Amino acid sequence: MSSQLNVDTIVDKAGSGGTNVKVANTSTYISDGGSATQNTVQGLLKAWVRIDGDASGASIDDSFNCAGITDNGTGDYSVTRTNNMSSVDTYYVVDGQFVNSANANGVDYANSTSSSLVRYKVFDTSATDRDPVGYAVVGDLA
């Protein structure tokens, strides 16, 4: 027999107001329209980063699950993640430039479970430093 829990607020045992809610990889949610269900954990971003990649060097403006950045040269950045992905075949990097005055596209390559290497080029020509650029990671964490 299944049961249902109806509450307004969840707090920790100490009653301090904080909470740690754990969601299993088998958890699902019902779509906005109510006709489809999806895996909650699979639908979450696993990492994202906003990079200040100007000519003076690269730095992370803001991020989630990203531990650091290496500036490998013009428009070429390696971002190391805090938590690894399960394998190089179980995730995808969605990258791009936040367009301001010039168009550019990102090309991700040389991914490992712990980092992604991203190079930014203008109109598929030479690599270029851009500010800001970024990417998001979807897939399976280790």
Q: What is the DSSP string of 6-34?
A: --S----TT-SS-------TT-EEE-TTS
Instruction: Report d(CA 84, CA 115) in Å as an integer.
Output: 8
**Structure pTM?**
0.73
Q: Which residues pair with 13 in a beta bridge?
A: none
What pLDDT band is residue 62 in, cutting at 50, 70 and 90? Answer: very high
What confidence tier does 83 reach under pLDDT thresholds 50, 70, 90? Answer: very high
Query: Burial letters for 51-83: b for 16+ Cβ neighbours within 10 Å, e otherwise?
Result: bbbeeeebebeebebbeebebeeebbbbbebee
**pLDDT interval class at 82 (50, 70, 90):** very high
Which pLDDT belongs to residue 88? Answer: 87
CA-to-CA distance for 138 and 57, rounded, in angstroms? 27
pLDDT score, position 66: 92
Residue 66 tokens read as 């990203």
CA angle 29, 30, 32 (to 5 degrees): 125
Determine the Cα–Cα distance for residues 79 and 71; give it in Å rounded to an integer: 9
* Mean pLDDT (the chain, rounded): 80
Mean pLDDT of 70-75: 82
Residue 12 has pLDDT above 90, yes or no: no
Instruction: Write the pLDDT tens digit of every residue in 94-133.
Output: 876 555 545 555 665 667 899 887 776 655 566 667 677 7
